[in-house]
């Protein structure tokens, strides 16, 4: 399980947007976003490039921590 910090989330819409963005990355499964902690955790079927991860979070409108 990999965990990343995400800044700028404030509601359940944010949680859904981040979940959708991370699920769109090949190899990412079982995404769980914790609004209170400001983080997302997920399983990787294959290693996910850090730059790809950060880019997807930014495109969803949030800041990778």
Domains delineated in the chain: 2-64 (3.30.70.100)
pLDDT at 65 over 90: no
Alpha-carbon distances of 28 from 8, 10, 19, 25, rounded to whole Å: 22, 23, 10, 6
- Three-state DSSP state, 26: coil
Report pLDDT digits (tens) over 5-55: 999 999 999 999 999 999 999 999 999 999 999 999 999 998 999 999 999
């Amino acid at each position: 399980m990999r965990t990343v910090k995400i800044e700028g989330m404030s509601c359940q819409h944010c949680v859904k947007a981040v979940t959708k963005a991370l699920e769109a990355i090949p190899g990412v499964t079982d995404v769980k976003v914790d609004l209170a902690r400001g983080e997302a955790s997920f399983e990787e079927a294959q290693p996910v490039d850090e730059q790809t991860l950060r880019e997807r979070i930014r495109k969803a409108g949030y800041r990778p921590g």
